[in-house]
Structures are given as C-alpha cells and as structure tokens.
Amino acid sequence: MTRRFDSRRTAAEPPVATAVIDDATLSMAQRLLLTTDATVVRLLEACFGERICTAGLEQASTPPQPTDAELELEGSETILRRKTLLQGIRTGRNYAYAEAEVVLDRLEPSLQEALVSTSEPIGHLLVAGRVETFRELLQTGGTPADSRGDLFGIRSSDMLLSRTYRIIAHGRPIMLITEYFPSFVLPARPIDSGTAQAENGS
C-alpha cells in the first residue's frame, strides 16, 4: 500500500528558509551528496548497495504558481508537483524526501506518461528515456525537520541537509527539485569504534 504524507508546504506558500551549513562540519560523503550534479538515486544506490525506489508518492498537475520562478515558465504550462520518499527496496529504509516541480509540456510524451503513471524515481526515468540533461545547483543548506522528522524517525528539531537544483534540457528548465537528507544517512562522525580507530591510526 502506498503511504500518504503531508509535504512541508503547499504550492502557493513560500519555501522554508534554509540555513547555511559550515562545510567544516560535513563529512566528505555529505559534501559529495549536497554538491555533485549526479542523480541522487545513483549516489544512494552506490553508497548503500541496494536499489532505490519511491514510497509514499503524491503528485498532482496544477497551474503555475509564484514559487515556480526558477522554471522560467511561459504562458500556461502545466506543472506536475511530485512529493516522495526515496527508499531502499531491500531494507525499506528512508534515505531522502524529495519535492519536484516538473514542466510537463517540455517533456517527451513517453516521459510524461511514465511520470504520471508510475512511481519510479525521476533519476531512473531520465536514464531509461536517455534524456540529455544537466543539473544546475541553486542552494544547499539545512533546515529543521519539523513534520518530516516522522519520516526518518528523528525529532522535529533535528536538522535535515538539503539541496535545491534545476534539471535543464534543450536549454530550458524542465524540473525544480529539492531533496532532504537526515544526517544519519551519511554521518559526519564514524558510526562505530572500528571506523574511529582506523581514522585515528589505532
């Protein structure tokens, strides 16, 4: 059964302020996750050795909103708003929460159909469709988990790392995506004594 959950904001509300993160507090893996232009699905699969799927998918097609400025919309283009968890198929662990605004009119019909009719991660769909894209990183930082904490079993006051970027194809933005990661996914400190001893040369 697909789990339903509330997003952090409605389409008409402004985005939540994002705090700047001190790079010195981040591990190498966290910096890579926040700043690389690779798909987050591929990164998570490489890091954790399991296929990533979506869970708790919510999506709806809506008219443009004032918060869609980064998509450089023209006229009355249709926006697909997609909210989902990225979850390990084998472990059932939630690795990330993502919100995406997709300009459906700028996609090939086959990709439009796949986005609307399947729960496959966007990264998998772009690869399967051989869509030539590049990602433009707009913002990285951190924000309190608030109600999203329940998705990861953490407190509402705990921080989530986040990144926002545009996916561009044929010279125009086709998607605006914000991804949130709990710090335990890629911890800044060693998570066991063996790792700690290895780093200390013990």
- Selected residue with higher pLDDT from 41 and 179: 179
What's the pLDDT score for residue 109?
87
Among 88, 61, 58, 69, residue whose Cα is nearest residue 152? 88
Neighbours of 126 (CB within 10 A): 21
**Which single residue is written with the structure tokens 């999506």?**
59
User: Are 163 and 177 a contacting pair, CB within 8 Å?
Assistant: no
Task: Report CA Rg, the chain.
Answer: 17
DSSP 8-state symbol, 185: T
Write down the pTM of the prediction. 0.73
> Please, which residues bridge with residue 175 across strands?
102, 167
Backbone angles phi, psi at 118, to 5 degrees: -125, 165
Q: Name the average pLDDT for the chain.
A: 76
92 or 128: whose pLDDT is higher? 92
% of residues, the chain, pLDDT over 90: 26
Residue 155: band (very low, low, confident or very high) from pLDDT cuts 50, 70, 90: very high
Task: In whole angstroms, give the CA distance from residue 183 to residue 54.
Answer: 20
For residue 94, pLDDT over 90 is answered with: yes
Q: Is the pLDDT of residue 21 over 80?
A: no
Higher pLDDT, 19 or 29: 29
d(CA 124, CA 41): 8
Residue 184 has pLDDT above 80, yes or no: no
pLDDT at 2: 33
Name the least confident of 17-26, 104-113, 126-135, 148-157.
Answer: 17-26
At residue 195, the pLDDT reads: 35
pLDDT at 166: 93
The mean pLDDT of 17-37, rounded to a whole number, is 57
Question: Per-residue pLDDT tens for 128-154?
Answer: 878 777 889 898 888 899 999 999 999
